[in-house]
A and B are shown apart, each in its own frame.
Chain A
C-alpha cells in the first residue's frame, strides 16, 4: 500500500498541472483537452471504448502467447545446437536492425484487416526480446553446475532440461515482462495501418475528426491496459524469477 501512495500522489499532481495549463492558457479543446474533459468523454463513450479495448486486449494476449511460445522454442533450439547458432543468430540480429513497423502494411496485405495481422505485429515486436533474454540465460549457466553434471554422465538433453532451463527462468521472466509492455504497442501499430476495430483504430478515427478528447481517452485506456498487463505478467512470473 505504501508503495502505491507516492505513485498516486505524483499522478494526481501531474493531472492537476495538466488541468491548470489547460484552464490558464485557454487552449482550444481540439489542441489539448484537460483531464476533466477527457474523463467526461471517457465516461460518455465507455461502451464504445470497452468494445475496442476488448479487441485490442485479445490481439495482445494471443500475440503474447504466440510470441512466448515461438521465442522459447527458438531460444531452446539456439542453445542446444551450435549449427543453429551459427546459421540463425546473425539473421536474428539483422532482423532487429530492420524497422518492424515498416512491415505493418505488408502484414495487413498478407493477413487481412482482421485480428491476425495485429497478432503478427505484436509477435514480431516481442519475439526478439523473449528469445534474446531466454537464450542469454541458457548460455550463462554457472560453469560449476555443468561440471557437476558432466561428472554425473548426464546427456546434453538432460542438462538442458534439468539445469540450463531452470537456471535461465529468471531471464525468461524478464523477457516476458518486457514483452507484456511491448505487445500492446505492436497491436496498436497493426491497427493504425488498417483495422475497423481496436483502440489504435479508435485513436486514429478520433484524431481524424479532431475529437482529441476521445483520442486521449482511448490512449489512456491503452496505457492502463499495458500497465495492468505488465503487473499481471509480473505476478505470473514471480516464482519463475525466483522472487518470494
Chain B
C-alpha cells in the first residue's frame, strides 16, 4: 500500500438547480478516521460518492484533491451499508472480487490471512446466504481490505447491524483500517464519537467541526467523555434540523 494521502473536497452540489449543499470544504487528514455525521438528505452520502467517483445524480462544482497530487479515484476502496456480496460466489471469491474484475492473480496467502483476521477462515467456501448479518459485513470488510487502498470510504457500513455486532464491527474495522485515510459517513452520533479522529457534523447550514474525545479510538462504548461527545453531537443534529 502506498502512504495514505490527505484528501480535500471543496465545492458545492445541486440537484436540478436546487442546492444540495452550500460551498464547503471537507479535509480528510492522512491516515486518520474522519466521521461525517448528519441526518438523512443533507448530502453526506453524496460527498462520499463524489470522492469515490460514483454517480450521484447531483451537479458538483469544485475540486477533490489528494495531498500528494495524484488522482484520488483509483486509490479508494468502498464499503456500503448493504454488504454487496455476490450471492452466487463463495466468501473467498467475494473477498477476491476486485482482483478477478481487474483480471489480476489472487494472492492465496493474502486472502487466507485476511479471512483469518476477520475470523472467517472456516467459512471461506460458504455462500453469503449461509452467513449471519455480522459475518456478511465482515466479508465485506475483508473485501475492502483485500483492495489494499490507502483511502477507504465507508458509507454507513454498520447501520444495519444489531447493537452488539455493530460495536464489535466498529472495533474490528478500527483495528484493521489503521494507517489508512478513512471517511466514515454515519447518522449515528455514538459511532462518530467512538471512531472519529476528527468529527464533522453536516447540516443544511454546512459543516461544523466537533472536537472528538481525547481517548484513543476506538473508544470504549461506556467511556464518559465519549458519551458526553455523543450527547453533544445528538444535540447539534437536532438543532441543525430545525
Contacts and interface: CB of A to CB of B under 8 A. Distances in A.
Interface stretch (B21-29, B94-102, B110-118): B94-102
Nearest to B155: A147
A242 B98 CA distance: 23
Contact of A147 (B73, B78, B97): B78
Interface in B64-104: 73-74, 76-78, 80, 82, 84, 86-89, 97-98, 100-103
Interface size of B as a range: 20 to 34
Contacts of B77: 151
Interface string B39-83: 000000000010011110000000000000000011011101010
B88 A148 contact: no
A235 interface: no
B86 A151 contact: no
Contact of B84 (A144, A159, A242): A144
Q: Tell me what chain A mostly uses at the interface: helix, strand, loop, or mixed.
A: helix
B147 interface: yes
A169 B87 CA distance: 12
Contacts, number: 60
B177 to A, nearest CB: 15
A159 B101 CA distance: 7
B84 A150 contact: no
A153 interface: yes
A169 B86 CA distance: 13
A150 B153 CA distance: 13
A151 B87 contact: no
Contacts of B54: 147, 150-151
A95 to B, nearest CB: 33
Interface string A147-165: 1111111110011001100
B78 A148 contact: yes
27 contacts: A145-B84, A147-B49, A147-B52, A147-B54, A147-B55, A147-B78, A148-B78, A148-B80, A148-B84, A150-B52, A150-B53, A151-B54, A151-B73, A151-B76, A151-B78, A152-B98, A152-B102, A153-B101, A162-B97, A162-B101, A163-B86, A163-B101, A166-B86, A166-B88, A166-B89, A169-B88, A242-B88
Interface of A: 142, 144-145, 147-155, 158-159, 162-163, 166-167, 169, 242
